[in-house]
Chain A
Amino acid sequence: MARLSLDNVTKSFANFDAVKDVSIDVADGEFLAVLGPSGCGKTTLLRLVAGFEKVTSGEIRIGSEVVSGKGGSVAPEKRRVGIVFQNYALWPHMTVAENIGYSLKVAKLDKAVARRKVEDALALVNLQGLGERRPANLSGGQRQRVALARCLVAAPSLVLFDEPLANLDVHLRASMEDEFASFHKRTGTTIVYITHDQAEAMALADRIAVMDGGRLAQLATPRELYHEPANEMVASFISQGILLPADVLSAEQAGHCKVRVLGTELIVRCRPGERPRAGAKICCRSADLDVSPDGPGFDGLVKRVIYQGGSARIEFTPSTSPDITLHFEQPDPVMLESGSRARLRIRSGWLIPAVGAAS
């Protein structure tokens, strides 16, 4: 178990920065998810931590040891990290037990001890009795478990997951998610988990690092990311937040301020110290919207109604700003129809901090 620190890590390929000035501190035993759309640099980040890539500038420390930095780079085989690869990377020429026991064999562990550890690891991932199988004869979920067992058996100080569920079907994903969570609880290992799936990240992680274009967009708990996104990218990326232009009308008081959005005034949550300004944005969630036929709000057009079983997803365009689309859910009985007019009310929202504001 060890903490992992990245200090201003930058990785450039030719003339393109894959990772740009990223600083993250992962506490001992923490489960950190690195989340972002494809091409955001999250896989490069993982390869930097693992040591497959060398940093262009900045420093990476595992525990108290500098593993990447100015002085050079510790080879991956000396870092004592475990990786669960996206496509498992199980060695096809070895049995399951040989795959799992490989690192023990490399470390020249006593054979009997190694065999027992392999048995334990197999039991840990519920694969007892499959040690003599070949990876080719396993199902996707079983391969995933073997990959997990293989990385656990060496008791690494840090485990990296590279989109481990991307190749699994939905049902398997849910059960593997449970397994990862219980594994983390049991072992207390520090985990860095790369994914593009927010639900996965939210369900598993203590904190989530959202990456965008090689930069760290926000590092926060799942709850904070959802409720208090630090910028527009995070706001719209997480749970399809709705971004609306707003003018701040009053200074912050007890975590709230008054804004004008789509011609109506409302109170939103905000960071301490916000002052009146124009051209701001608020983020609201579909749960913050409701239909209010007679009350305060704004009128608009229902563009689409998508029934989803028990509720419908409504896409709505306000009359004053036809280029904005809001979406929300309406539980059964669904009244709205596409093409009809309706009046909406925003109950609450979050004022996105001004660009450059200290977090």
Chain B
Amino acid sequence: MSTRIRESRGQEMVLTAAVAIVIVLLSLLPMLRLIKEIVAPGGTLSTVAIKAGLASPATWIATWHTLVVGIGGTLLAVLSGTLVAVLVTLTDIRARSAMVLCYVMPLMIAPQVTALAWLQLFGPASPFLKLFGAAPPLGTRNPLYSTSGIILLLGVQYGPLVFLLVRAGLRKLPRELIEAARAGGAGWFTMLVTIVLPLMTPSIMAAAALAFVSCVGNFGIPAFLGIPANYLVLPTLIYQKLAGGGPAVLGETAFLSVLIGIIAMAGILAQEIMSRRRDYRISSTSLAAEPYELGRWRPAVQAGMWLLIIVVLFLPLFGLVLTSLVPGYGIALTAKTATFDNYRFVLFEHDAASRAFFNSFWLSIAAAFFAVLVAVPIGYLIAWGKQRWVRLLNLSVELPYALPGVVLAIASLLMFLRPIPLTGIQLYNTVWIILYAYLARFLVLALRPTISGYHQIDRALEEAAQVAGAGLFTRMRTIIFPLVAPAAIAGGLLIFMTALSELTVSALLWSSGSETIGVVMFSFEQGGDSNYAAAMSVITVAVTFVLMLVTNLLAPYLPTGVLPWRD
């Protein structure tokens, strides 16, 4: 008997050990290295770095700013994302597929591209406003250089993130629950407030936590909108200090990053507590609810939705395209001045740009693939594991994403500055250090939806396989993976789209030959070549869009729910 007992525990032990190793390598090691840097810079214990950080008023101002834009951006994202998810999923609104596709697009556009696009739209040099002769005179301050500008763009950027998670939850809602409420006399709106939204609490909470973590750690938007207004948040403060002080201020920036880590953790903890207060698991499988008939309100609701989409997607992109066609700053766009020179330049005349496209593509694919494979077992241990310590896993995987990319980049630099002990392998100055940072940073993007997926699966499905004689690995492969695959692969797609034009991590880790799309775009913009940056942005957006369409062709062969923007 004892051998049979040992056998059955063996697979569980192997799984747990493998998960532990991955998490130690990707989360704990960089985190520890970072903490060592602030408590023991140079190898001896000292509080110099902490004291210097606390004494600086800049720290407190930036912390306050971070909280303001983080909470503001999250609220805006949750409100808009949830509203759109409910309208699109539960009503008989028309052209749903197109709407979903368009609304989700901003998420797949890098924050710095969003910032660039909106700035081009409203700035004094705006080719768009110049079309109507409505551009303010050169030298006028751009209205987006403000707190509300940052909050607005964060909300626009992360609303789709909330939308995706809430929509995924809504689609799994069995129609009986809605029908039972309608039969119980609840009007559609009452049913929404008393049944749907409460049941969606885990999804909404998870989405809110993710949006908060993203807003707080966002670099591109506050960098483009805040720095000109001298409105610094923690990530931009860190970036400025590093850019100005170099390795000498590593300790100080490490302190600031721990601070931001604490803010993000508070958000995640709040989510954990909120969603554990009740059991929201939905065990039955059922068809989706019949869409609610909007009746005479339908044209108005549709018009509102499309107006929203035009404002958050088409206008900024239009501005971006116009800028990419302008030969130089401030020049009005006419049929005569319009040129494709900017495109020709970034595609054929600039070596780094073409290398960047190649690098970014394979880095994103590798990161997404790995994350999906790892998220399924980690999610299993977190969602269904019996050991209490496993719940801490969730937090430790969140950390590399909660910390701004700048910080993980610093941690990676600190870790790999010298060759890896015992092996002598040198990651520094190669593309592999970027891959490492991507894996560590984006794992959570696949893990969150996977855990949500687990929470909505009836565990009896696994138990049924267990009594059928399937060991843990067999169950993983044949039952658990197929069941959580939609959620996990959706997470993988998010990772791919996020990583493709990622900037903050690669900005600090790139070396000649390992440029990414974001890095090349950023250096154009920094050099004042907004037109080149715009051209690269347009290409990236176009590639992403084409990629989505191509993936759509595969949809019939994929389980439903894998492609978030498809019905």
Contacts and interface: CB of A to CB of B under 8 A. Distances in A.
Interface string B462-475: 01111111110010
B284 A71 contact: no
A87 B458 contact: yes
Contact of A87 (B283, B467, B469, B478): B283
Contacts, number: 96
Which of B285, B469, B471 has the most A CB atoms < 10 Å from its CB? B469
A174 interface: no
Contacts of B466: 52, 75-77
A78 B467 CA distance: 8
Given A83-B467, A107-B469, A91 B8 contact: no
Chain B interface, >50% SS class: helix
Given A87-B283, A102-B478, A50 B463 contact: yes
Contacts of B2: 71-72
A67 B467 CA distance: 14
A78 B474 CA distance: 13
A66 interface: yes
Nearest to B465: A102
Contacts of B461: 89-91
Which of B7, B9, B465, B467 has the most A CB atoms < 10 Å from its CB? B467
A186 interface: no
B1 A66 contact: yes
B505 to A, nearest CB: 36
B469 A77 contact: yes
Interface string A63-106: 00111000111111111111101110111110000000011011
Interface in A83-140: 83, 85-87, 89-93, 102-103, 105-107, 135-136
A75 B468 contact: no
Contacts of A92: 285, 483
Interface in A254-301: none
B227 interface: no
B479 interface: yes
Which of A86, A106, A107 has the most B CB atoms < 10 Å from its CB? A106
Nearest to B559: A93
A154 interface: yes
B479 A150 contact: no
Interface string A52-70: 1000000000000111000
Interface residues of B, number: 29
B482 interface: yes
Interface residues of A, number: 37
B1 A65 contact: yes
Nearest to B462: A89
A154 B469 CA distance: 9
Contact of A75 (B4, B464, B483): B4
Which of B283, B466, B479, B482 has the most A CB atoms < 10 Å from its CB? B466
Contacts of A66: 1
A259 B463 CA distance: 53
Given A72-B1, A78-B4, A92-B285, A106 B468 contact: yes
Nearest to A86: B460
A74 B483 contact: no
Nearest to A100: B468
Nearest to B463: A52
B5 interface: yes
B91 to A, nearest CB: 24
Interface in B95-134: none
The 3 closest A-B pairs by CB, nearest first: A75-B8, A103-B468, A89-B460
Interface of B: 1-2, 4-5, 7-9, 283-285, 287, 458, 460-461, 463-471, 474, 478-479, 482-483, 559
Interface of A: 50, 52, 65-67, 71-83, 85-87, 89-93, 102-103, 105-107, 135-136, 150-151, 154, 156
30 contacts: A52-B463, A66-B1, A71-B5, A73-B5, A74-B5, A75-B4, A75-B5, A75-B7, A77-B469, A77-B471, A78-B469, A79-B467, A82-B467, A86-B460, A87-B460, A89-B464, A90-B464, A91-B465, A92-B285, A92-B483, A102-B470, A102-B478, A103-B468, A135-B285, A136-B285, A136-B287, A150-B464, A150-B468, A151-B467, A154-B469
